[in-house]
Amino acid sequence: MVIDPAIETHYGTGYERSRLFPGGQPSLEYVRSMELLERLLPAPPARVLDVGGGPGTDAAPLARRGYRVHLVDPVPLHVDQARQASGAGPAARFTAALGDARELAEPDASQDAVLLFGPLYHLTEAGQRRQALAQARRVLAPGGRLLAMAVSRFASLLDGLYADWLDDPVFGPIVDQDLADGQHRNPDPVGRPQFFTTAYFHAPRLLRQESGRRKNP
SS3 of 56, please? coil
Q: Pinpoint the alpha helices (H) of 126-170.
A: 126-139, 155-163
Decide: 135 and 114 in contact? Cβ < 8 Å.
no
Average pLDDT of the chain is 94
- 174: which residues sit within 8 A by CB, 6+ positions away? 156, 184, 185, 186, 187, 195
Give the residue from 126, 15, 163 showing the smallest Cα distance to 175: 163
Would you tell me which CATH number, out of the four given (2.40.110.10, 3.40.50.720, 3.40.50.150, 3.40.50.20), belongs to the domain 1-13+27-150? 3.40.50.150
**Which pLDDT tens digit goes with each residue over 46-73?**
999 999 999 999 999 999 999 999 999 9
Higher pLDDT, 173 or 213: 173
**What is the separation, in whole angstroms, between the first and last Cα of the chain?**
40
SS3 of 32, please? helix
Cα(214)–Cα(166) distance, integer angstroms:
35
Spans of all domains in the chain? 1-13+27-150, 151-201
The predicted pLDDT at position 1 comes to 66
Q: Pinpoint the alpha helices (H) of the chain.
A: 5-12, 16-19, 28-40, 59-64, 76-86, 119-122, 126-139, 155-163, 171-181, 204-211
